[in-house]
Amino acid sequence: MATAIRIKKALGQHFLKDPVIANQIANLLTGEGLTRTVIEVGPGTGSLTDMLLSIPRLYLIEIDRDLIVYLKKKYVQLNDRIIQADFLTYSLVEQFKGERLTIIGNFPYNISSQIFFKILDNRHIVDEVVGMVQKEFAQRLSAKPGSKIYGIPSVLLQAFYTIEYCFTVPKYLFIPAPKVESAVITMQRNHVKQLPCNERLFFQIVKSGFQQRRKKLHNALSAFNISNLTCKDLLHKRAEEISVDGFVQLTNAIASKNPV
């Protein structure tokens, strides 16, 4: 890594220094994913970018102005496909009209959750994600019902994506070394274009259920009209015990008592 690059803790920068790991991450992209527009979020000094240069439509989105200068000198061939922007506020729909997207990156820990909810908001155009995040967050995203770490992001993202925990990355492979281990996950868009329920209500019910996760759902969802529901077996469980299909069933039952 060039000595001129100043690491900015406020941006959650931890640069991967191991080309073997970078290559393993790049190799997780599917053949179909490689044919789409591929967006690398937070390329840093380019350890992962080096492994992606053969992709015809590769874009880099980086918020750090100093790194933009560095990347444009290093990857002259990418020209105007190196974009200085905050991924969280960058409009994927406006900038990549009609295109199917693959998102890849070593995502900053401090905004990982926001990045994945941004991807969720753009699920109609983002078909594939390969990302490195904090190990704990990767475990939460891929957790199954019944796990103590199964939560809101697990349910909402698994409703639309198949998520796989791939491998763990130790701290010492970064500059500077983070305080926690990292992990790489993949997400593949499933065939659910729209849930078989009121999606807005589904999101509300999932969030309400987990906001009081120690309570059974008949208490956690008391703000909704849940009297005389046919799915009482679900209401006697906690949110962490309910699958995506279970939340869909609950949503439809509650919607029938609360017509829009």
The annotation places the binding site for S-adenosyl-L-methionine at 14, 16, 42, 62, 86, 106
Tokens read off for 164: 């796989």
Residue among 167, 195, 7, 22 nearest 105 (CA): 22
Residue found under tokens 């969720």: 120
Q: Tell whether the torsion through CA atoms of 109, 110, 114 and 115 is positive or negative.
A: negative
Contact 157, 187 (CB under 8 A): yes
What does the chain come to in residues?
260
Query: SS3 of 125, please?
Result: coil
The b/e string for 126-158 (b: 16+ C-beta within 10 A; e otherwise) is bbbbbbbbbbebbbbbbbebeeeebbbbbbbbb
Q: How far apart are CA 66 and CA 72, in angstroms?
A: 10
Residue list, annotated binding site: 14, 16, 42, 62, 86, 106
Query: SS3 of 109, please?
Result: helix
